Structure 1
Amino acid sequence: MDDIQGLDDVLTDQAKQKKMETFQKDILFAGDEAVYRNGNKIKSGTKFLICGTVLAPDCFISKLIRDKTYKSIVKRAVLVDDIDALFTNEYWSSFRDLYYDNKNQYAEIDAKNFYYENEDEMKFPVLWEDKWHPIEIALKYYSDPIGFKQEMMNDSTILTGGKCFFAVKTIPRTEMDDIDFDRSIMTVDCAVEVGKRNDYTSICVGSRGINGHRYIRKGLLMKVDFDTYVKKVIGLLKEFPELTHIIIEKNTYQGVDAKEIQKKIDEDQQLSNRNITIVNERQMKNKENRIRAMSGKINNGFIIFAKEDEDFYNQILEYQGSDIGHDDAADTVSEFDSRIDEIEIRKEIKSIPRGWLF
């Protein structure tokens, strides 16, 4: 049985249980027991070889590893105890910053030169030295820590709590104003209550640069009433005239806020002349998986924050799971990241002089 379980098999407790029951009640009974006659084995029993990746602490593969009935071999690509500590230490953090410097056209060369200049301090043991180079391993980790820890380290802890954001890249907001963007949207996650222990209303104004990088031009965390929240959205639409879409989670106000914002837009002479689309949908996806899926983009600086929004990105750095602390900022940024490439931009149709055709 090769690669017997996938992500769909660990999303719920029922899915995990179903995978185990299928193995125990169906697959195992397809095999034969060994046959002995007069103390001699005359027919071997069926042998099951199961290859797979650990995807959760209680997934099918994890349960088999803990079951003493089975012999198990667990291998990890990098032979260190804490892969996160390794790639966030002083040397590898400097390498990451050099490699993902979007302003330096020689970023890759400079980063590799930095590694070879400090190879004695940066090299680490791997399972197959002739197959994996430390730089290649590091780039795989920075690109997708979740996938790396699953596929390369057989480590499921990143899916079940714990930090997944270790660094954010920031630049001054005034510096962002000089960047060429090809699309800009606003994502909103509302909260009703405003008590100390309640969630925040989070608003993220983000743009995509022509190089594909994401820029969080303004990140807000607020505890405000309904009217103040609507007023803030309208104010941001005026502050950022290039905004074309507002993505609002429907779960909280059931669409009432989207209707009120649309009403305010229609009544405003400045905003009513713009093509602003409001998308108001229920959030059905697993929030924690969605947030952790963007960890590589934030850790390697592909998603860049305004330096002034310290409270906003610090909440992301503190994220350890949906059941610990707040996930408001991370939620709106992940929604922005997943939506920005998909939105359709309606461009103004311009006519040409009739004489140009003749």
Structure 2
Amino acid sequence: MLENEDMEDIVDEEEQNTFLLYKYLLEVGFDEDAADKLILENSSNLFGYHGLAWQLGKMSLEFFSMYFLQDTFLVKEDNAAAPIADVHREIWQDIQESIIGNGNNQIGRILPRGTGKSAFGTFAAACWCHAYKLKTYTLICSDIGTTAEKFIKDIKNTFLENKYLEKAFGILLDDKDKRYVCNSTQLEFTNKTFIEAISSSSPMRGRKYGNSRPDLIILDDYQSEDDVRTEEAREKKWKRFSDDVKYAVQKAVIRNGKTIKKGTTLLALGTLQHKEDFYSRLIKQPTWEFRIEKGVLIDDFTDEKGQKNNGLDHYFNTGLWKKFKDILFNFKNKNHLADAKEFYWDHETEMKYPLLWSEFWDCLDYALSYYENPTSFKQEVQSDVDSIGEKWFKTVATYPRSENETHNFIKTMLLIDPASTTNGKSDYSAFLIGSQADNNLKYARRAELAKINARTDFDKYIDHAIKLLKEYPDATHVYIEKNTFNGADANQLELKINKDNVLKYRNIEIINEAQKKNKDDKISTIIPYMNKGQIIFAEEDSEFTDQILDFRGQKYSVHDDAPDITAEFNNRIENIEVVEKVNILDRRKFGL
């Protein structure tokens, strides 16, 4: 047999599939002799209709996934599959035990983004259950309808195009036979089973296929950002599910203490977004069996003072990673990112750390993601909600405006983020006069949140910019976010500058660019500068600085204008070039 050969060395597909068959016969409990005998006895029908592979797939979800769904899960030269990890094997094992074993009928996984929970959980489980008719009616519930529809599309394409399934099961899905439903949200199989995908806002109750209620309900990313934004929204989401699911499930059939037919299996897969969000509440239910996984396998610790410390924060801010961070955030060096990566590669062995999916994930990529936004990283990758909703900035350096103005400024610009809607979150137009001084610090010399709605008070908005340019004659550049007016305000400002008897001689450059980067990602880049006091504000601009100090991320902040425009200032002032004026000497003074 092929037990000593690595999969990478097997070229012939049939040989590869036979190796898989042999490997998983051992996995399910057959010894080597029994596995050899089974393969020999079934040599004429290893992979054909109801052959040995078909029989083994019914016993093992992992084998079913690795063989019948091998184009998704088995690494080959012609696909993009990644090597599976222990976390994926554990998911498959728990789903298998829940559906055909003695496992809990309500199981959940909180997994980091990028773990493949939808593929390994939702997709694999649905295909397995309906290929073998282990479940009659599956309901896949997602936060929005388009996500739910993607699940249906992937499952549909698999059953229509997968040669391994068709060879062993026959035709299970026929999109040309009008007797069966086959559309963007519903699939009816020839074995009289049914899959339906719905958004989380659609009710579960009352749904039936024939006489069957849903006997497999999968909650895959069941909540949206809107569902966790406020306490009212979180409460509403939980109440709706609690009231809904009790009327949607199929009860188990039990006679004389023996289970004749298992009831509905509920599978919840998601990422934590808040301490009181839907999944956080579901975890606390005694009838659910949950596992919470971290992407970076570094534990918190208690120091000698008895204080609990976040292990991830400590790890990425000490030792070689601290040196890496210092190189990465040295914006005076134009090659700071490349130099930081080079430092990592020079010390890769010492800087590697354990990952949940080390077969696929990269330590350098994950470290860079952490430094971009530690709070978001801890939520998305570490399933850590303790820091969600906390304020991002610990301090803001402020001095009297008169004191700030004593410094020698080498670059100055005006930055504008216009408000253009009438809702409560977008009623400020942010104006910031920012300079870089010869002491390498940056000064927000004037930072205003003006109650000017640029769409309804356009002239007032332009006039305020003109006023600030006149008050700060050393301003050489203006940055205006382009998203709101698509350049119309920049054009109008330029016209007014050219008509002004003073401003038209200053050669002011207007930068008008669209906001493309995620705001949270952009704002997170200034956290180290703010907390170190390297961006200095005027004490008089307390409304502006208070908004910065209150920022908790876009989801949990009423306003983001001040930190957003501050991030633009920090990132752009480095790159503007100021043309120095040259005074022509009077030759006559030298007698020439």
TM-score, with normalisation over the residues of structure 2?
0.40
What is the distance in 1 between the residues matched to 2:293 and 2:485?
53
Q: Does 1:259 align with 2:313?
A: no
Q: CA, structure 1 residues 123+50, in 2 after alignment: closer, same or farther (shift >3 Å)?
A: closer
3-state SS of 2:430 partner: strand
Calculate percent identity across the aligned residue pairs: 31
Separation (CA, whole Å) in 1 of partners of 2:307 and 2:465: 47
- Residues of 2 paired with 1:294 and 1:346: CA distance? 27
Shift of 1:211: 3.0
For residues 62 and 318 of structure 1, do their structure 2 counterparts lie closer, same or farther at Cα, with a shift above 3 Å needed?
A: farther
| Equivalent position to 2:297, from 72, 75, 79 | 75
Query: Is the aligned partner of 1:241 residue 2:232?
Result: no
* CA-CA distance at 1:199 after TM superposition: 2.6
Q: Distance in 1 between matches of 2:441 and 2:294?
A: 43
What is the rounded CA distance, in whole Å, between the counterparts of 1:282 and 1:271 in structure 2? 25
Q: CA deviation at 1:338?
A: 1.3
Question: How many residue pairs were aligned?
Answer: 285
Tell me, yes or no, if structure 1 residue 171 matches structure 2 residue 396. no
Which residue type is aligned with residue 572 of structure 2?
A: R
Give the counterpart of 2:30 among 31, 39, 60: 39
Q: What one-letter code is carried by the residue in structure 2 that aligns with 1:171? A: Y
CA distance in 2 between counterparts of 1:283 and 1:35 reads 52
Given that 2:545 and 2:562 are in contact with CA atoms closer than 8 Å, whether structure 1 keeps it comes out as yes
Residue identity matched to 2:409: F
Residues 1:156 and 1:232: Cα distance change in structure 2 (over 3 Å)? farther
Match of 2:448 in 1: 220
The residue that corresponds to 1:3 in the other structure is none
Deviation at 1:198, TM superposition (A): 3.8
Contact 1:165–1:319 (Cα < 8 Å) also in 2: yes
Q: Distance in 1 between matches of 2:402 and 2:115?
A: 50
Select the residue among 575, 578, 582 that pairs with 1:345.
578
SS in 2 for 1:269: coil
2:402 counterpart letter in structure 1: T
- Secondary structure (helix, strand or coil) at the match of 1:60 reads coil
1:329 counterpart = 2:329: no
Question: CA, structure 1 residues 139+216, in 2 after alignment: closer, same or farther (shift >3 Å)?
Answer: farther
The amino acid that maps onto 2:507 is N
Partner of 1:60: 114
- Say whether the 8 Å CA contact 1:57–1:157 is kept in structure 2: no
SS in 1 for 2:413: strand
2:293–2:382 contact (8 Å) kept in structure 1: no
CA contact under 8 A between 1:248 and 1:258: conserved in structure 2? yes
User: Which residue number corresponds to residue 307 of structure 1?
Assistant: 539
Q: Secondary structure at the match of 2:301?
A: coil
The equivalent residue for 1:296 is 528
- Bigger relative contact order, structure 1 or 2 (CA pairs below 8 A, ≥6 apart): 1
Cα pair 2:425 2:558 within 8 Å, conserved: no
Q: 1:75: Cα distance to partner?
A: 2.9
Cα RMSD after superposing both structures: 4.7
Mapping for residues 77-116 of structure 1, pairs under 5 Å: 78-79=300-301
Alpha-carbon separation, structure 1, partners of 2:295 and 2:507: 58
Report the AA paired with residue 348 of structure 1.
K
Q: Indicate how the Cα distance of structure 1 residues 320 and 48 shifts in structure 2: closer, same or farther if over 3 A, else same.
A: same
The aligned runs of 1:144-155 (5 Å cut-off) are 146=372, 150=377, 155=382
Secondary structure at the aligned position of 1:343 is classed as: coil
* CA positional deviation for 1:292: 1.9
Preserved contact between residue 111 and residue 293 of structure 2 (Cα < 8 Å): no
Q: Tell me, which stretches of 5 or more residues in structure 1 are unaligned? A: 1-28, 81-85, 87-118
- CA gap of 1:75–1:188, structure 2 versus 1, over 3 A, is same
**Shift of residue 220 of structure 1?**
0.6
1:180 corresponding residue in structure 2 = 408
Per-residue deviation, 1:218:
0.9
Bigger radius of gyration: 2
Q: 1:307 to 1:130 in 2, by over 3 A?
A: closer
Give the TM-score of the pair, scaled to structure 1. Answer: 0.63
Alpha-carbon deviation of 1:339? 0.7
8 Å contact kept, 1:140–1:148: no
Deviation at residue 213 of structure 1 after TM alignment = 1.8
